[in-house]
Chain A
């Protein structure tokens, strides 16, 4: 809401020294936040109101004239770009920009010769003064305007406009009067609503009376109509137009401007119908099935049954509280209007305006609640102003239908309630004073209570807590002491703990955390295919980039890698931890989607380090990350089974693994491997990428207590074992073969090499080098014992026909 400080000063008795900044500060601390102050008219300086003394044509240019004028000092002669016939006669008032004056846009006036005549400055048009986009000819001011005064100040151009952020609970503050009431309370001064003008009252001509019927009082608790006749549409006076402009409202014509002006003043939206375009009486009702109406903007709109319409004998002429109709609009030829001042059901207005996308100053106020009790004044004030500015008269007394009487609300404020909520004591007498200042009267109710009467313009104040807030904000929130709450909660683990442990491990492994959008383009999920293709759709996405909830963290990580490659960062290690949103099966849509937490990592490019600068990352780099993250999550011995056997759409069929906790066939806790090259093509990443995904919910997250074991006291012996074996036999299978010997002193088996050099390794085979560690807990083993055990292990290994031991 834009509040003109000039206007505010008219309504509220502020001491001369009170500045807009100080008012803004106080309003902000009272809950009406002033977001900015626009200082208007600062670029218009030195322009004076001058009186025309004489006008004569320019001696050498017939389209120019020479105006003799005075602005409190000596007479001057100014060359004017308008022909003499368009200028006011002697005694008229014009805007003179003498040498030294500045105009909007930075133009500075001086003395210059125009076609042989020296001209001290110029006479200004409205456009030159920054008062409007059009406006031919120079500005002519009303003859009663005082001469010699500063124009900017005189017409209100010099103003400060406060942009007040009015929260939705405060419809009362959507007007200059409402803000004046607050300011008066904050400065402990008085304020007033301007009374309606005294204007001509004419009897209602025969046949011009219009009846109003409210058919649905829940839609419209009050509807007042007045008829003003004998009007002439014209431009509004300059000061009124300047004021509307300051408030961000475009001036149109006096008949329309008055409704806007009174709305900005009182907070009551008003609507003027062209009386001659109405037929029969007016009915306020809900729209009928299939009803249509052409709104002011010329669009023919289908209505719905909950919409509130104002209708005449022919049908809907306005959408109540939202917008007028094109067929009853006032125009330049309008001579009589029916002025509507009403209040409508806020919910209905909100639904209609939202559905049709018609948000207006009026609907904004009706949605929040317009005070039915203020309608009589607003109607009278606007009607009188219309009559005055349009040269017409109020015809008849007007009609005021008020089927649903609104009453002030009684709310009790107790000293106990006030002190308990505030945390400090405010005497009830002080509370009563503060409430009275904003129009909430109260009387003591016993020793420790106030019975408050909340006026209808404060629909937000309904319970004791609301009164507490009113008192506290007027006393000042800064009065409240600060103290820490008594008692203490029970310390507990964070539900994010596994997620944060995964984050810590991944960061320690050298990866950088990213946070990507929860919603993704549908194409990303389509690329994933399978179950992941179907995500929870956003029904009103901002753009196609955010149309469906992610079902996997992979596409977001790939996208992040792409962006970094595009920035010429070739080696990338990223991770993300967060929920993925899994849609329920079609028959289970009543249940919300599940949101399992996942941790995912992606490697692209080379292994970090400078010693082997070209070494590309491979499966075993991401597997290391998998191992360490799982270890951090309490899974010490995960089992990796080739994903090729259970094809995943995400991973390369020959370089991907499922991860099971504990034993093969144990719970699936994730997957790891090279991203499927086809998927990378679909997602547009032109480099190999390695991916890890851990299902944090499957991991559990209880950190297992560490049960420590003393280190071995006796030395170990090791034996290396080198053999050829069929390439299909995995390291885990080889290990199982060796362990099948059940040698109790065999304590560790580690792969040292897996080599497949075609020159040295027989076809279909691979060369393996293991190192086996033997140890007993209670003594030092002899070489003979170790040799014997090792021989049994070798024998077990050789039970596989594909093995050839090498020496």
Chain B
């Protein structure tokens, strides 16, 4: 500090500082952007701002007078900062108000693609797979083009057996056939693995039928469980579990004696009609789903025939097992109330779009 300068007038200095706040408030009242306000703030409070200019005199004051001036400087600073904050808040409020004035027509459609859809036959396959995965079954698949041995002979259906008429088969070049059921997957699995076996095998199968209730290709789901001491009661319990999960709790299962070459005993599987809860009556009339019988057919099942075990090298004395099969188109028709089997194969996106 140079000693030649005169000590400033304290009162005048305080007065100047106190006036700065007022001047600042006037100045920013006309400013409309945050940037201008910040620039103005810098002109007052920056290193070379007006408050700093005035405070240069502080060093020349006698020490006992400095606190009063410092106080005034702080007052001015606080007042200016307060004015900035207030002004910025007001500007922000105005922006907000302007923003809030916008109106969108919320009834206009959404942008972009809708979710696509899985095919209803995929949906039921997955649902059924999920049910059996929960029981410890694994999912296996097999080829469409099969050998007659895997499709028939190994399943206790030798050539010229009348049971071959139950499935009118497609033959392809190379001496093979299109599998007429998913049962060859049983054979493939047992040939490659020792018991115990617990599998479900979904897949398309092929038969020479083409009318309102048959398509030449259709999806089936096969199930096979082989272990020590497996009985008909296990089959019944497994199917009951499935029906409860798929169609609804408390519905019964009925096994009716039937015939498949690869099972003995064999059964047709009926589930209690979920629409009429097995009563056969719906709204006082004969139930349209089960035609009043109270039951809907869902597939075939039985205990694995010893000849099937022999064909794959299992010892029928040591293990037993059950197998079941069901048509997934029928399951999907029941589940989604589809009346026309053909709908699954007509690729009509207006139909398919429902399965979201």
Contacts and interface: CB of A to CB of B under 8 A. Distances in A.
Contact of A611 (B111, B129, B268, B347): B111
B198 interface: yes
A485 B234 contact: yes
A698 interface: no
B22 to A, nearest CB: 41
B138 A490 contact: yes
B126 interface: yes
A33 interface: yes
Interface in A471-489: 472-473, 477-478, 480-489
A706 to B, nearest CB: 23
B196 A487 contact: yes
A30 B173 CA distance: 41
B283 interface: no
Contact of B216 (A423, A491, A539, A542): A542
Interface in A380-422: 420-422
A424 B232 CA distance: 9
A512 B232 contact: no
A518 B144 contact: yes
A351 interface: yes
A563 B233 contact: no
Contacts of A29: 256-257
B174 A510 contact: no
Nearest to B302: A469
Contacts of A490: 136, 138
Contacts of A486: 227, 229, 234
Given A482-B233, A592-B143, A488 B176 contact: no
B258 A33 contact: yes
Contacts of A491: 133, 136, 138
B277 interface: no
B145 A540 contact: no
Contacts of B108: 610
Contacts of B160: 346-347, 350-351
A540 B138 contact: no
Contact of A495 (B126, B141, B172): B141
B232 A421 contact: yes
B173 A539 contact: yes
Contacts of B114: 510, 608
Interface stretch (B9-17, B44-52, B93-101, B115-123): B115-123
B336 interface: no
Contacts of B216: 517, 519, 542, 546
Interface in B103-149: 108-109, 111-119, 121-122, 126, 129, 133, 135-141, 143-145, 147
Interface string B227-242: 1011111101111110
Contact of B241 (A484, A517, A608): A484
Contacts of A512: 116-117, 119, 349, 352-353
Given A423-B233, A473-B265, A495-B140, A503 B346 contact: no
Interface in A173-196: none
B43 interface: no
Interface in B151-187: 160-163, 165-166, 170-174, 176, 178
B270 to A, nearest CB: 10
A168 B162 contact: yes
Given A472-B257, A608-B112, A608-B114, A421 B303 contact: yes
A477 B162 contact: no
Given A422-B231, A500-B126, A564 B347 contact: yes
Contacts of A609: 111-113
A28 B295 CA distance: 13
Nearest to A556: B347
A53 B264 CA distance: 65
A477 B141 CA distance: 31
B285 interface: no
A573 B259 CA distance: 44
B70 to A, nearest CB: 38
Contacts of B239: 482
A90 B50 CA distance: 147
A444 B32 CA distance: 111
A424 B261 CA distance: 24
Interface in A627-675: none
Interface string A48-82: 00000000000000000000000000000000000
Contacts of A581: 144-145
Contacts of B111: 609-611
B41 interface: no
B336 to A, nearest CB: 14
Contacts of A28: 256
Contacts of B174: 536, 589, 592-593
B5 interface: no
A485 B237 contact: yes
Interface stretch (A205-213, A449-457, A460-468): A460-468
Contacts of B121: 515
Contacts of B162: 168, 346, 350, 367-368
Interface stretch (B57-65, B72-80, B84-92, B202-210): B202-210
A15 interface: no
B118 A513 contact: yes
A469 B225 contact: no
Interface residues of A, number: 94
Nearest to B266: A469
A704 interface: no
A207 B166 CA distance: 48
A569 B350 contact: yes
Given A368-B162, A422-B231, A473-B265, A567 B256 contact: no
Nearest to B112: A609
Contact of A420 (B117, B231, B350): B231
Contact of A484 (B165, B166, B238, B254): B238
Contact of A564 (B136, B227, B264, B348): B348
Nearest to A464: B306
B266 A465 contact: no
B255 interface: yes
A350 B347 CA distance: 40
A545 B139 CA distance: 32
A541 B119 contact: no
Contacts of B136: 487-491
Contact of A516 (B126, B206, B227, B345): B345
Contacts of A506: 116
Contact of A595 (B144, B170, B172, B232): B144
A443 interface: no
Nearest to B297: A33
Q: Which of A29, A490, A511, A569 is the most central at the interface, judged by chain B CB atoms within 10 Å of its CB?
A: A511
Nearest to B146: A592
Nearest to B350: A569
Contacts of A350: 160, 162
A539 B165 contact: no
B140 to A, nearest CB: 7
A169 B141 CA distance: 30
Given A351-B160, A421-B303, A595-B144, A469 B257 contact: yes
A139 to B, nearest CB: 37
Contacts of B253: 482
A578 to B, nearest CB: 8
11 contacts: A167-B259, A168-B161, A169-B259, A483-B233, A485-B230, A495-B139, A513-B116, A514-B352, A519-B170, A538-B171, A608-B112
9 A-B pairs closest in CB distance: A423-B233, A423-B231, A31-B257, A510-B113, A489-B136, A167-B259, A469-B265, A560-B347, A489-B198
Given A168-B163, A477-B256, 8 more contacts: A465-B264, A465-B265, A481-B237, A484-B135, A509-B116, A542-B208, A560-B347, A579-B143
Interface of A: 28-31, 33, 167-170, 346-347, 350-351, 367-368, 420-424, 463, 465-466, 468-469, 472-473, 477-478, 480-492, 494-496, 500, 503-504, 506-519, 536-543, 546, 549, 559-560, 563-564, 567, 569, 572-575, 578-579, 581, 589, 592-593, 595, 607-611
